[in-house]
Amino acid sequence: MTRTVVATGFGCVSGLGIGVAETWRRAVAGEGAIRRLRRNPPAGHPARGIDGPAAWIEPGASREALAGEDLRRLGQLDLLSQHALAATAEAVDAAGLRDHPSLSSRTAIVLGCGSGGNATVDAAYERLYGRGLGKVHPQTIPSSMISAPASHMAMMLGIHGPTFVIASACASSAHALGEAMHMIRSGRVDVAIAGGAEACLNLGSWVGWKSLGVVADDTCRPFSKDRTGMVLGEGAAIVVLESEEHAFSRGAPILGELAGYGMSSDAADMTAPDQAGIEAAIHAAHADAGVALDAPALISTHGTGTRVNDPAEAAAMHAVYSDAIMRNIAIATKSAHGHLIGATAALEFIIGMKALAEGIAPPVLNHLGPDPECELPLALAATPIDLEVLVSNSFAFGGLNAVLVGRRRS
Amino acid sequence: MSVSPDAVLAVVAEESGLDLTALRPDVTFEQLDISSIDIASTLFAIEDKFGVIVDPDALNPASTISEFVALVIHRSAA
């Protein structure tokens, strides 16, 4: 018998703030986190440094959020792990799971990361190639490896069960939540601490993204006319998932159900989206959740704000939902928190589930007017809703698509 | 370059994540749970900051803080 999987704790850190309450407050109020980021390169370095729109976390904020934890080496960790730990601590405390006996043996950690500890790698390479030094810090590898945050989460909580990182670029944390859901459904574990983390606002990553030509000069305007691209964010978002039975048995708060998960691979191109691949993932998620395509839903779009992605996603949604699309409400919260790459899908799932529970869709920001190629039932202002179902889209570079379906619990 | 004991202790504290007050002269690395990678990190930072190279083989888990400080200062004078 397939087990029902529920969410019992949320935690997040992003440019919108530290913690779910502040994140949600700002998302609904339309207080976007995208603003000008300026960071100078190392002295004498020829690169121009960072200067452009981003949704960053105030330096040190994730570390301060962990002040009450017994984490002796916290200051040595890459921001990637600091963000992951801050979101994890909030989610596990919200779920009332701290020190619960299930953590040690019946719990998994499944974390999505698009890349590893970028700032640590930057610092090491700057020594080698910038200053011509021969040595780098001995913690360079353990701090920058992509699985480091999952290990630190396990150490903080005493988790000895399955613990690993899933990497699928911008869909990483959707895959993490979906695979964690299957681990609970199949009975491998009772609890999974799942989500994503990313810390990519360092010079090397910044220049890499800029070189790709998909980053906006002004801000993120999903599905809008005159949009110019995506805007990078950073942070982490963690969901505590449990079998419904386990959650009931300990009287845990039920925040909603993770009811379905569909994925597909375009097998076509490293950067261009593929409409058929997107449609396949949405279809699969609906089928897995047992949610009809004409059931009214809150759709948390991938909505990056790039010229090419938004029309492909809109066209796929029209093809999948046909006329029923107008029964839905579409949100695009990257306009508020930027693109958190490996963490973004989990943050969007949390915001989407909060929207179902609170009965309000947070506004799509920075919209300048409709684009005929991207016509969707967008919530351009905070909009009251009464919807049972969330469909949360994530479509990654390399054609790796993952769609989650959440269900409200009253 | 002359190195002060306080400067050495500050590096040990930073690289091991321990509070300065824990670094009493007679306690050993082992008692402080200073691991081999903490020692490697400390020696890296000592070299980076002060240009002083310390042979890691001169240290072991039973080395005390005062022995370590004396070793760095001795090497800095060499």
B41 touches chain A (CB under 8 A): yes
List CB contacts of A368: < 8 A, sequence separation 6 or more. A221, A224, A225, A226, A227
- For the annotated catalytic residues of A, the residue numbers are 170, 302, 339
Token digits for A297? Answer: 């839903």
* Domain match, A212 and A330 both: no
Contact residues, chain B, for A75 at CB < 8 Å: 14, 17
Q: pLDDT > 90: what percent of chain B?
A: 92
Query: Which of A75, A135, A142 faces B17 most closely, judged by CB atoms?
Result: A75
Give the gap in angstroms from C-alpha A149 to the nearest C-alpha of chain B: 18
Length of chain B: 78
A72/B18 CB distance under 8 A: yes
The distance of Cα A386 from the centroid of its chain, to the nearest Å, equals 24
Mutation target to probe the B interface, by most B beta carbons within 10 A, among A139, A141, A155 is: A139
The angle, 0 to 180 degrees and rounded to 10, between the axes of the packed helices B65-77 and B5-16 is 120
- My answer on whether A241 and A123 are in the same domain is yes
pLDDT at B38 over 90: yes
Domain that holds residue A189: 5-256
Last residue of a domain, one of A194, A221, A256: A256
Instruction: Flag whether pLDDT at A193 surpasses 80.
Output: yes
How many beta-carbon pairs below 8 A join chains A and B? 23
Q: State the Cα torsion B40-B43-B48-B53 to the nearest 10°.
A: -130
Q: Which two tokens stand for residue A338?
A: 């930027």
Q: What is the mean pLDDT of residues A242-270?
A: 97
B17 shares contact with chain A (CB less than 8 Å): yes
In order of A185, A213, A261, A384, the CA distances from A282 in angstroms are: 20, 28, 9, 25
| b/e burial code for range A48-78 (CB count within 10 A of at least 16 → b) | eebebbbbbbeeebbbebbeeeebebbebbb
State the complex-level ipTM. Answer: 0.94
| Residue A83 pLDDT level (bands cut at 50, 70, 90) | very high
Angstrom distance (rounded) from CA A216 to CA A228: 5
The 10 Å Cβ neighbour count of residue A180 is 30
Mean predicted confidence (pLDDT) in A358-385: 98
- Which chain A positions have a beta carbon within 8 Å of B32's beta carbon? none
Does pLDDT of A43 surpass 80? no
A54 and A164 inside one domain: yes
Instruction: Please determine, for residue A158, whether its predicted confidence score (pLDDT) is greater than 70.
Output: yes
Provide the mean pLDDT of chain A.
96
Question: What residues of chain A lie within 8 A of the CB of B18, using their CB?
Answer: 72
- Give alpha helix (H) positions in B1-78: 5-16, 36-50, 65-77
Q: How far is B46 from chain A (nearest CA, A)?
A: 11
Among the partner-chain residues A72, A74, A137, the one whose CB lies closest to the CB of B41 is: A137
Query: In sequence order, what are the beta bridge partners of A233?
Result: A55
Tell whether A221 and A296 lie within a shared domain.
Answer: no
Q: Which residue type is seen at A330? A: A
pLDDT category at A362 given cuts 50, 70, 90 is: very high
pLDDT number for residue A44: 67
- Over 70: is that where the pLDDT of B1 sits? no
DSSP-assigned beta bridge partners for residue A378? A330
Per-residue model confidence as pLDDT tens digits over A101-119: 999 999 999 999 999 999 9
Quick one: average pLDDT of A283-288?
A: 98
CATH number for the domain harbouring residue A126? 3.40.47.10
Judge whether A15 and A33 are in contact, CB under 8 Å. yes
User: Same domain for A223 and A352?
Assistant: no
Flag whether pLDDT at B7 surpasses 80. Answer: yes
Per the CB < 8 A criterion, the answer to whether B44 and B52 are in contact is no
Q: Are residues A243 and A271 in the same domain?
A: no
Please, is A213 exposed, middle or buried when counting C-beta atoms within 10 Å of its C-beta (0-12, 13-18, 19+)?
exposed
Report the SS3 class of residue A95. coil
pLDDT digits (tens, 9 = 90+) for A325-352: 999 999 999 999 999 999 999 999 999 9
Spatial distance between the Cα atoms of A306 and A298, rounded to a whole number of angstroms: 22
Domain boundary among A211, A238, A256: A256
pTM: 0.97
Into how many domains does chain A fold?
2
CA of B64, closest CA in chain A: separation in Å?
Answer: 20
pLDDT at A42 over 80: no
Which residue of chain B comes nearest to A138, CA vs CA?
A: B41
Q: Are residues A150 and A237 in the same domain?
A: yes
User: Residue range A33-46: average pLDDT?
Assistant: 83
Contact list, A72 vs chain B (CB under 8 Å): 16-18
